[in-house]
Structure 1
Amino acid sequence: MKKKIGFWKRNALSIVFLVLMVFSLTGQIYTGWNDHNDFLKSYGKPELDMSAYLASGHFLQATFENWESEFFQMALFVILTIYLKQEGSSESRPMEDPPRDKDGECIPLEDSPGPVKKGGFALKLYKHSLSIVLTLLFLLSFGLHWYGSFLDYNEQQLLDGLPPTTAIAYLGHSKFWFESFQNWQSEFLSIFAIIFLSIYLREAGSSQSKKVNAPHAETGE
Structure 2
Amino acid sequence: MMNKTWYQRNSLSIVVTVLFILALVAQFYFGWLVNNAELDEEGARPLGIWNYARTGHFVAATFENFQSEFLQMFLYVVLTISLRQVGSAESKPLDGRAEVDRVPKPHPDAPGPVRQGGWRLYIYSHSLTIAFLLLFLISWSLHLYGSWRHFNELRRAAGEQAASLRYFLREPHFWFETFQNWQSEFLSVASIVLLTIFLRQKGSPESKPVDAPHWQTGK
TM-score, with normalisation over the residues of structure 2? 0.94
* 1:157 Cα offset (Å): 2.0
- 2:43/2:157 contact within 8 Å kept: no
* 1:194 Cα offset (Å): 0.4
Which segment drifts farther, 10-19 or 156-165? 156-165
In the alignment, which residue of structure 1 is the partner of 2:206? Answer: 208
User: What root-mean-square deviation, in Å, do the aligned CA atoms of Structure 1 and Structure 2 show?
Assistant: 1.7
1:74 equivalent to 2:79? Answer no
In the alignment, which residue of structure 1 is the partner of 2:18? Answer: 19
In the alignment, which residue of structure 2 is the partner of 1:151? Answer: 149
Paired residues, number: 219
- 2:39/2:154 contact within 8 Å kept: no
In structure 1, how many angstroms separate the alpha carbons of the residues matched to 2:204 and 2:162? 51
1:178 equivalent to 2:194? Answer no
Counterparts of 1:2-41 in structure 2 under 5 Å? 3-41=2-40
In structure 1, how many angstroms separate the alpha carbons of the residues matched to 2:193 and 2:100? 25
* 1:47 Cα offset (Å): 2.0
In the alignment, which residue of structure 1 is the partner of 2:218? Answer: 220
In structure 2, how many angstroms separate the alpha carbons of the residues matched to 1:181 and 1:101? 32
In structure 2, how many angstroms separate the alpha carbons of the residues matched to 1:35 and 1:101? 46
**Corresponding letter in the other structure for 2:155:** Q
- Equivalent of 1:139, from 134, 137, 140? 137
In the alignment, which residue of structure 1 is the partner of 2:103? Answer: 105
In structure 1, how many angstroms separate the alpha carbons of the residues matched to 2:195 and 2:175? 30
**Corresponding letter in the other structure for 1:93:** K
Q: Identify if the C-alpha distance between structure 1 residues 200 and 56 changes in structure 2 by more than 3 Å, giving closer, same or farther.
A: same
* 1:125 Cα offset (Å): 0.9
For structure 1, the residue ranges without an aligned partner over 5 or more in a row are none
In the alignment, which residue of structure 1 is the partner of 2:61? Answer: 62
Which segment drifts farther, 158-167 or 90-99? 158-167
For structure 2, the residue ranges without an aligned partner over 5 or more in a row are none
